[in-house]
Structure 1
Amino acid sequence: MRPVPPPKRLLLQAKNHLLGLAPPQFLTLSFVLLALAGTLLLKLPLATHTPISWLQAMFTATSASTVTGLIVLDTGTQFTLFGQSVLIVLMQCGGLGLMAFGVLIIHVMSGQLALRHRTALREALNQSEQADMRRILGLLFGFTISMELLGTALLALHWVPQLGWSRGLFYSFFHAISAFNNAGFSLQSDNLASNVGDPLINIVITGLLISGGIGFVVVADMLGKSRFRDYSLHTKLMLIGTLALNLIAMLVILVLEYGNPATLGGLSSFSTKLWAAWFQAVTPRTAGFNTIDIQALLPATAFFIMGLMFIGGGSGSTASGIKLSTFMVLLLATRAFLRQRQHPVVFGRSLDSNVILRALAITVISLFCVITGTLLLTITEKGPFLDLAFEVVSAFGTAGLSRGLTADLSMAGQCVIMLLMLIGRVGPLTLAFTLANPHSTRIKYPVRQVNIG
């Protein structure tokens, strides 16, 4: 038997190692490789009008691939058409998840999904063993393409008359991709502040944000059933939670900022104030767009928006954060405890204890990441504590909102933010599984009580 040449042996070893990775590890590696590929492309001379540093290229690529929206360079003026197209690809791949793209290619080539690939896709979309992955995959791509094309067509009604057909269509397509994938990148230097009172921009952008952030499984469930009572428990919680949270957030922002002359108080009409409050209520749930000056928000409003960014969007969506369903499970569990019930009950169904433990684990790990990130940023940076904490929560929730701190971050600070963006995108629990390499055991231990509270 002839010996395998060293280069070929190394390739075979790398291939075997990749195939042996667990789905959470493979998912994390995919986003890392996507960010590195984007860094190389954005560093090319044809990607920018003026040369940029490797750190700037890596930060922008990481922000785009994790669909965050934090920027250290002006997207519309610094990047060429090629560079902006690279950002579109990074946002699209990062929003849908590389596992979905990989499984689609495997499915087309082989005509079937192996168990390993179904497991990887379930990890990327955060689905259970019983979920029909082929149906979810087909719906994922069909719904995404449909919504992005519809968003492009509607936004073209605004930008084509202003910019002409070619530039106007590209503007519309860029913002539709950015909005549906909850990325928050804009080609306008003021983000969308110049469109604060435009009903078309407000409706289309927020519609794309909600449709991309509510979760593909919710969309699939709604398309397959006509009555609310027939929806799954997850779909019911997501629909009610999304509506309630958006309306409450709109009311809170409107009340807090109504008299602030630098934000809502400086707008000309009450209808414009309503549009601004609605837009800023929806966008913190990992979107990154803004129509008012985030730096000028009152401390109370900024702190409230930090809570929205931490909660995030829907499970298995383009959004991040701990997820709205996680937040609602914690609320239901707390209510059950206060009422001295053993299991939370909602819509005539009780929640499994494993779901509650998972929600608790996700929240605790997320809080640990945010606290640690804030601590590191207070060490590496100089600035108001609220601004530093806001930046950390925005990065972890891949929300993309900033109080003017991002471009002034040191090299160490940018590295902290990039790591938080990656952790927030792959999910804190996925990262914990990746690092801890968990294994099950059948050993049972005696039960004992611990005094708490």
Structure 2
Amino acid sequence: MHYKRKLKEKKLNPAQILVLGFAGLIIIGGILLNLPIASVDGESIGFIDSLFTAASAVCVTGLVVVNTATYWTLFGKIVILMLIQMGGLGFMTMATLVALLIGKRITLRQRLVIQEGLNQFSLEGVVKLTKYVIMSTLIIEAIGAIILSTRFVPIYGIKSGIWHSIFHSISAFCNAGFDITGNSIVPFVGDAVVNITLALLIIIGGLGYTVYIDLTRNKEFKSNTLHTKFVLLSTAILLITGFVFILIIEYNNPKTLGNLPFIDKITASMFQAVVPRTAGFNSIDIGGLTKATSFLMIILMFIGGSPGSTAGGIKTTTFGVIILTIYSILKGKSDVDVFRKRIPYELIFRALAVLGISLFLVVFVTMILTLTESENSFLDLLFETTSAFATVGLTRGVTSDLSSIGRLILIFTMFTGRLGPLTLGFALAKRQDKDKGNFRYPEGKIMIG
């Protein structure tokens, strides 16, 4: 009896199951990509590189150590695409799909893990939400692939064109940034159809499924939930700000926008303002960006997309809550409010915790990389670290030159970035109830600022 009780006590909580599930996917993907059949030259890429690629795919990042288009065979590319899809949806969502297909009952424990994975406040309707997530994802990706095929099929032929369309549609919606063109979207820098389609897929993928549901139920903005309003407002501000700054700063830069026609400058600026939301495509040379634009992209990458989506980063809502808190303090207000709603102090504390730990991780990893990859500039390493943490995939040409230690560090960073801030909020929320006692300590004063 004592042995059984100890086993019960050792049951994993939902956050731990998520971590182990994603880790398992990465290891399996690494093993498959390490097989000789996965590479064009018929030789194993090496486990560290295969693990890096698998981690980048599962964490929907897009950083690569080899050219995806030329190095991997069809088998290798299919493995990468499957890892992207499972990583974007979440392994528990895929497990739920299998359970639903075979008619298996979804247990309470599984519902708790789904709740954690989809970043929901309650258990109510999580299975229904999972079904919606799966169906909406497949439909949106199919529509994206059909539109992209109008441009890719004439260029690559029917079979290859359809394959390119499916791959890039899934990669964009899951905010992964993997490409099989060989040079990301640079060959299509002036193609409005390709740029707009991929940009919309990235934006939709980064909004979050709860936002989709709310928008389908409530057509008018004023009828939407506070979360939806906050996500849409913060997303719009970040996209417009990024577009304007990139266009102005890079307008005459011959390495990026300088030699493009005016309409292509608009298209490229729009696209590059979207991709830091954690989808690492690029239509211009990232290494040629000015330092000002590179730093702006670091900020945009760090913020990332929205909760419950395929995007990474600290999330738009976290950033928005912190900005509103600062504004309220400056105005001398005791409450933080938006859209005539007051934001609870627990959410503010959680946002500050996510920001603090995320900043610490990025700074710490960058410091280590300055020691292990000393031949690269500080800006390039900070850019690379932020891109890995926020699961973006943009790079200034550092990834392929990383040492084995550097690659292992970035694997950890991608993994932590994909799961850390997400699970941290729920972990803090759970501890909050446990920490409530029947007494409170007396108030103390500390000088701030």
Following superposition, the deviation at residue 259 of structure 1 comes to 1.2
Following superposition, the deviation at residue 227 of structure 1 comes to 1.1
Contact 2:112–2:123 (CA under 8 A) maintained in structure 1 = no
From 28, 48, 53, the equivalent of 2:39 is 48
From 291, 296, 300, the equivalent of 2:292 is 300
CA distance in 1, matches of 2:300, 2:12: 34
CA distance in 1, matches of 2:318, 2:89: 20
CA distance in 1, matches of 2:79, 2:10: 28
Across the two proteins, how many residue pairs are aligned to each other? 441
CA distance in 2, matches of 1:133, 1:335: 35
Task: Provide the residue aligned with 2:247 in structure 1.
Answer: 254
Following superposition, the deviation at residue 109 of structure 1 comes to 4.8
- 1:56-95 deviation per Cα after TM superposition (whole angstroms, max 9, x unaligned): 1111111001000000010001001111000110000000
Task: Provide the residue aligned with 1:271 in structure 2.
Answer: 263
Q: Does 1:371 align with 2:359?
A: no
Change (3 A) 1:223 1:429: closer
Tell me which amino acid in the other structure corresponds to 1:337.
I
TM-score (norm 2): 0.94
Following superposition, the deviation at residue 54 of structure 1 comes to 1.3
From 56, 61, 81, the equivalent of 1:68 is 61
Contact 2:208–2:307 (CA under 8 A) maintained in structure 1 = yes
From 320, 323, 332, the equivalent of 2:315 is 323
Q: How does 1:209-358 map to 2 (within 5 A)?
A: 209-267=202-260, 269-358=261-350
Following superposition, the deviation at residue 104 of structure 1 comes to 3.3
Following superposition, the deviation at residue 22 of structure 1 comes to 0.9
Secondary structure at the aligned position of 2:327 is classed as: helix
The worse-fitting range, judged by mean Cα deviation, of 44-53 and 297-306 is 44-53
Any stretches of 5+ residues in structure 1 without a counterpart?
Answer: 1-8
Contact 1:309–1:321 (CA under 8 A) maintained in structure 2 = yes
From 24, 28, 34, the equivalent of 1:37 is 28
From 90, 97, 121, the equivalent of 1:97 is 90
Task: Provide the residue aligned with 2:398 in structure 1.
Answer: 405
Contact 1:25–1:434 (CA under 8 A) maintained in structure 2 = no
Tell me which amino acid in the other structure corresponds to 1:420.
T
Tell me which amino acid in the other structure corresponds to 1:415.
L
Secondary structure at the aligned position of 1:358 is classed as: helix
Task: Provide the residue aligned with 1:170 in structure 2.
Answer: 163
CA distance in 2, matches of 1:442, 1:216: 32
RMSD: 2.2
Tell me which amino acid in the other structure corresponds to 2:32.
L
Following superposition, the deviation at residue 35 of structure 1 comes to 0.5
Task: Provide the residue aligned with 1:20 in structure 2.
Answer: 11
Task: Provide the residue aligned with 1:159 in structure 2.
Answer: 152
Contact 2:115–2:123 (CA under 8 A) maintained in structure 1 = no
The runs of at least 4 consecutive aligned structure 1 residues that moved more than 6 Å come to: 16-19, 432-435
- 1:90-139 deviation per Cα after TM superposition (whole angstroms, max 9, x unaligned): 00000011121223334455664332222111111111016521331121
Q: How does 1:426-441 map to 2 (within 5 A)?
A: 426-428=419-421, 430=423, 440-441=434-435
Task: Provide the residue aligned with 2:410 in structure 1.
Answer: 417
Secondary structure at the aligned position of 1:265 is classed as: coil
Task: Provide the residue aligned with 2:447 in structure 1.
Answer: 451
- 1:273-329 deviation per Cα after TM superposition (whole angstroms, max 9, x unaligned): 000000000001100000000000000100000000000001000000000011111
CA distance in 2, matches of 1:433, 1:373: 24
Secondary structure at the aligned position of 2:161 is classed as: helix
Tell me which amino acid in the other structure corresponds to 2:120.
Q
- 1:406-430 deviation per Cα after TM superposition (whole angstroms, max 9, x unaligned): 0000011001111000001013352
CA distance in 2, matches of 1:401, 1:449: 44
Identity of aligned residues (%): 42
CA distance in 1, matches of 2:309, 2:406: 28
CA distance in 1, matches of 2:361, 2:426: 15
Change (3 A) 1:104 1:34: same
Tell me which amino acid in the other structure corresponds to 2:147.
L
Task: Provide the residue aligned with 1:203 in structure 2.
Answer: 196
TM-score (norm 1): 0.93
Q: Does 1:187 align with 2:180?
A: yes
Tell me which amino acid in the other structure corresponds to 1:40.
I
Contact 1:18–1:26 (CA under 8 A) maintained in structure 2 = no
Tell me which amino acid in the other structure corresponds to 1:38.
G
CA distance in 2, matches of 1:347, 1:449: 32
Secondary structure at the aligned position of 2:282 is classed as: coil
Any stretches of 5+ residues in structure 2 without a counterpart?
Answer: none
Tell me which amino acid in the other structure corresponds to 1:20.
K
Contact 2:119–2:422 (CA under 8 A) maintained in structure 1 = no
Tell me which amino acid in the other structure corresponds to 2:164.
Y
Secondary structure at the aligned position of 1:402 is classed as: coil
Secondary structure at the aligned position of 1:141 is classed as: helix
Tell me which amino acid in the other structure corresponds to 2:281.
F
- 1:363-409 deviation per Cα after TM superposition (whole angstroms, max 9, x unaligned): 00100110111011011112110001100000000010000000000
Tell me which amino acid in the other structure corresponds to 2:446.
V
CA distance in 2, matches of 1:317, 1:201: 22
Following superposition, the deviation at residue 222 of structure 1 comes to 0.5
